[in-house]
């Protein structure tokens, strides 16, 4: 062969066959992703930030039932790059617009292997696409299975994506429980997680199932050299939730999927894709909270007209059940079957909270204080036969107790311009709820309800499924989609942790999926650091219904024998309305407790639930957090500052305010002698004149906080208020 022809062939081959190593950089150039195939044909990636390694070489693999290993012997058959830059407007959120800007690399891999069970050495060919998106705040990647003969329908046993960290980072974590996220956070080195094994055994009577040496996402990490790293997932649909296995000596993490009833992970049909795996990184903790990458990795809204979706504040007959002064159940008779009893013949227990008269009291309070809605739990029959029994047809979602007059309350609430919020406790029987959901939603709309709080307490039915498995992940999406057809908003409790799906289903306003304020009512409670960790963990995936606003901190006022306390000051409870974001915020305490402190309750009346802008003044996971937010369509700003068990001073420059404008600033702060344990309800309220040059100094007590309301100053304000001086 002539030399010139040989050179031409080599050049042509170089142009057609992609290089096995690929490099991708973020739009600002701070992140660099490298993808390659190892000598054994293993897909491998690494990630750096500002030339500092974040993830060392990390492998990517799957285990598929009754098929050869899907981990090595790949070849690269195609590679495509692209860029994307657009700005979109969420239906509600922390900001009014979000920039979606990334560079993308999609690699197509092919594996040829021996066909299992074949005696004549026949080969099978399988393909896999790995799609990387590199943003200015981090990395998202997912796997895509194209339509192909060898993978038409398949049972996925496991995903083994590695995150090979560079050291023994500090981790903020909860254990890998398939059925609950309601744990207090541990703060340890990665190497110490092994030693915690067994701590969570037999926490509850229903024996929740844990994965050994696994932790849940979102997982927040901090390296010794000051890098903040958050690992989670985005757009979780038709797939199990991931956990991180912490079982390697090199500080590497490997994904583990919540199993289904037959012991595998997922049933898939091509074309199929996994959720995005997300790695958000910065040398500034505030940047982690400001990231919108998880939202950007979700699909745009499936709801064409979102005008009916309304962020709101609400009160409700909820806290009185948790503190023991009220009950969900109408009667104390046990094992009452909803279809075999005349409820009017049962003897009331005298503590039932969801009575017509009691709900009217909450409606009156809401109407008098500009609160949008009233949540009513325990209104429907079945509560005598649910907890611990785990039967399939406990609730029908349309039959009220004898003392709950649906029609009268509909009339009364409408006259007061207050919306009632439905409660659907499913007792974890997803199958029963799906059968009855259309009837339940029609009942809601016929009686004036536009929002529902769903609950999934207990072991999932169908038996063997878990809260975080593929079956239930699909169920939660099904509920959101069905609710959208009826123009109903969802607040899910005991559901899978959120992954940014509020962009796709903006009627899914909030979820619990973490240890909420209720634990302060009947357990050892939430430690003072808890609320400083949640924004870096659970809330990375979406809003949380934490139920803040408890004013009566020491609960022995209801029963001298009660030892429980809320592990915050009263001022911190106010600050949580800003620091723990949700478009659905409950004023969780009893009306009479607010009526005793209406000066402090004024902040709850004023604070917004939907925002144009958010600025994070200072942040450190597990220690402190200060956030300022601008109310949607208004000139008002609100600030929340919280701390852990240590007192501190939060410094907040008001340079986000327009120059040359004067503002009235009202500060709800811990009193000088306030302390979450010794003197939690001591607070002060002071008002001043301030402007963009003002720097607030907010003194936070142990377990304390401060809330600030900022509005344009009136002439009267300028006359009566003094300029702020620290």
pLDDT tens digits, 223-248 = 999 999 999 999 999 999 999 999 88
Distances (CA, A) of 523 to 353, 529, 558: 21, 16, 16
pLDDT band for position 389 (cuts 50, 70, 90): low
Burial (Cβ within 10 Å: 0-12, 13-18, ≥19) of residue 292: buried
pLDDT digits (tens, 9 = 90+) for 622-677: 999 999 999 999 999 999 999 999 999 999 999 999 999 999 999 999 999 999 99
The answer for 259, left when phi > 0, alpha when psi is -120 to 50, beta otherwise, is beta
The pLDDT of 122-129, averaged and rounded, is: 93
Shared domain for 264 and 366, answered yes or no, is no
Average pLDDT over residues 44-54: 98
Is 292's pLDDT higher than 60? Answer: yes
Based on the fold, state whether residues 332 and 373 are members of the same structural domain.
Answer: yes
Q: Which of 265, 296, 327 is the last residue of a domain?
A: 296
In the predicted model, is pLDDT for residue 369 greater than 60?
Answer: yes
Q: Which of 568, 474, 561 is nearest to 520 (CA)?
A: 568
* pLDDT of the residue at 19: 65
Residues 432 and 497 placed together within one structural domain of the fold: yes
Predicted confidence (pLDDT) per residue in 256-281, tens digit: 999 999 999 999 999 999 999 999 99
Residues 667 and 635 in one domain: yes
What is the signed CA dihedral for 45, 51, 52, 55, rounded to 10 degrees? -10
Q: What are the DSSP E strand ranges found in 115-206?
A: 123-135, 138-145, 153-165, 170-173, 175-177, 186-189
CATH number assigned to the domain comprising residue 10: 2.70.98.10
207: its two tokens: 């024996």
Res 205 pLDDT > 90:
no
Distance from C-alpha of 471 to C-alpha of 464, rounded to nearest angstrom: 10
Arithmetic mean of pLDDT, 318-344 = 87
pLDDT at 5: 37
Query: Which position has the token pair 């979109």?
Result: 88
Please report, for the domain that includes residue 491, its CATH number: 3.20.20.70
Cβ contacts of 53 within 8 Å, gap of 6 or more: 46, 47, 166
Question: pTM, whole model, 2 decimals?
Answer: 0.95
In a domain, 302, yes or no: no
The answer to whether 90 touches 506, Cβ cutoff 8 Å, is yes
Six-digit token string for 388: 């611990």
Residues 159 and 38 in one domain: yes
- By residue range, what is the domain housing residue 505? 310-513
Q: Comparing 213 with 29, which gets the higher pLDDT?
A: 29
pLDDT over 50 at 11, yes or no: no
pLDDT given at position 280:
99
Q: Does residue 439 have an active-site annotation?
A: no
Mean pLDDT, range 404-410, rounded to an integer: 98
**Rounded average pLDDT over 30-41:** 97
- 518, 529, 531, 564: which is the annotated catalytic residue? 518
Total number of domains constituting the chain: 3
For residue 303, tell me if it sits in a domain. Answer: no
Average pLDDT of every residue of the chain: 93
In a domain, 75, yes or no: yes
Residues 124 and 270 both lie in one domain: yes
Q: Give yes or no for residue 558 having a pLDDT over 50.
A: yes
Same domain, 430 and 287: no
First and final CA of the chain: distance in angstroms? 86
Is 48 found in the same domain as 16? Answer: yes
- Model pLDDT, residue 448: 96
Residues 248 and 354 in one domain: no
Write out pLDDT tens, residues 98-114.
Answer: 999 999 999 999 999 88
Tokens representing 112 are 């040829």
Q: Are residues 201 and 264 in the same domain?
A: yes
Residues 30, 89 within the same domain: yes
Q: What is the mean pLDDT of residues 48-67?
A: 97
Residue 297: its pLDDT value, please? 98
């Amino acid at each position: 062969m002539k030399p010139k022809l040989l050179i031409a062939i080599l050049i042509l081959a170089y142009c057609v066959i992609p290089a096995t190593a690929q490099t991708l950089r973020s739009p600002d150039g701070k992140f660099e992703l490298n993808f390659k195939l190892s000598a054994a044909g293993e897909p491998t990636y690494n990630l750096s930030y500002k030339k500092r390694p974040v993830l060392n070489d990390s492998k990517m693999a799957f285990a598929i039932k009754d098929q050869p290993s899907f981990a090595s012997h790949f070849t690269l058959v195609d590679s495509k790059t692209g860029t994307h830059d657009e700005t979109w407007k969420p239906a509600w959120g922390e900001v009014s617009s979000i920039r979606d800007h990334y560079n993308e690399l999609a690699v197509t891999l092919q594996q040829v292997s021996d066909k299992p069970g074949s005696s004549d050495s026949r080969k099978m060919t399988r393909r896999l696409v790995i799609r990387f998106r590199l943003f200015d705040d981090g990395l998202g990647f997912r796997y895509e299975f194209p339509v192909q003969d060898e993978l038409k329908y398949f049972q996925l046993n496991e995903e083994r994506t590695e995150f090979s960290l560079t050291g023994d980072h500090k981790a903020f974590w909860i254990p890998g429980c398939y059925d609950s996220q309601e744990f207090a956070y541990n703060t340890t080195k990665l190497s110490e997680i092994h030693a915690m094994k067994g701590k969570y055994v037999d926490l509850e009577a229903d024996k929740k199932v844990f994965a050994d040496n696994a932790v849940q996402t979102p997982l927040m990490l901090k390296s010794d050299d000051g890098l903040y790293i958050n690992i989670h997932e985005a757009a979780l649909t038709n797939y199990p939730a991931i956990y991180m296995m912490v079982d390697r000596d090199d500080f590497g993490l490997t994904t583990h999927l919540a199993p289904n009833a037959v012991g595998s992970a997922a049933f898939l049909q091509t074309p199929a894709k996994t959720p995005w795996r997300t790695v958000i990184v910065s040398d500034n903790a505030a940047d982690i909270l400001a990231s919108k990458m998880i939202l950007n990795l979700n699909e745009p809204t499936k709801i064409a007209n979102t005008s009916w979706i309304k962020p709101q504040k609400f009160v409700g007959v909820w806290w009185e059940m948790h503190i023991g002064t009220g009950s969900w159940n109408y009667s104390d008779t046990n094992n009452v079957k909803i279809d075999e009893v005349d409820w009017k013949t049962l003897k009331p227990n005298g503590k039932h909270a969801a009575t017509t008269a009691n709900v009217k009291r909450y409606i009156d309070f809401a109407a008098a204080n500009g609160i949008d809605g009233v949540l009513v739990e325990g209104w429907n029959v079945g509560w005598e036969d649910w907890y611990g029994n785990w039967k399939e047809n406990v609730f029908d979602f349309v039959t009220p107790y004898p003392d709950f007059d649906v029609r009268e309350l509909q009339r009364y609430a409408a006259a007061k311009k207050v919306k009632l919020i439905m409660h659907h406790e499913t007792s974890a029987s997803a199958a029963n709820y799906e059968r009855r959901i259309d009837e339940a939603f029609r009942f809601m709309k016929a009686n004036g309800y536009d929002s529902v709080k769903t609950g999934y307490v207990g072991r999932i039915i169908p038996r063997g499924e878990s809260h975080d498995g593929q079956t239930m992940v699909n169920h939660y999406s099904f509920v959101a989609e069905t609710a959208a057809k009826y123009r109903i908003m969802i607040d899910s409790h005991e559901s899978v942790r959120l992954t940014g799906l509020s962009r796709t289903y903006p009627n899914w306003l909030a979820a619990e999926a973490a240890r909420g304020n209720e634990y302060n009512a009947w357990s050892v409670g939430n430690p003072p650091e808890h609320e400083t960790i949640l924004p870096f963990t659970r809330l990375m995936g979406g809003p949380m219904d934490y139920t803040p606003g408890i004013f009566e901190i020491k609960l022995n006022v209801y029963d001298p024998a009660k030892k429980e306390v809320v592990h915050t000051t009263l001022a911190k409870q106010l600050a949580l309305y800003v620091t723990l974001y949700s478009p659905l915020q409950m004023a969780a305490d009893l009306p009479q407790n607010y009526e005793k402190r209406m000066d402090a309750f004024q902040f709850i009346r004023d604070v917004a639930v939907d925002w144009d802008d958010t600025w994070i003044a200072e942040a450190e996971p597990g220690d402190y957090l200060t956030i300022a937010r601008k109310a949607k369509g208004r000139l008002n700003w609100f600030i929340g500052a919280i701390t852990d068990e240590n007192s501190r001073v939060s410094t907040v420059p008001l340079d986000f305010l327009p120059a040359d404008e004067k503002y009235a600033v009202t500060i709800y702060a811990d009193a000088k002698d306030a302390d979450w344990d010794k003197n939690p309800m001591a607070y002060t309220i002071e008002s001043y004149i301030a402007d963009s040059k003002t720097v607030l100094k907010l003194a936070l007590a142990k377990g304390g906080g401060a809330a600030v309301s900022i509005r344009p100053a009136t002439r009267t304000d300028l006359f009566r208020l003094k300029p702020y001086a620290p």
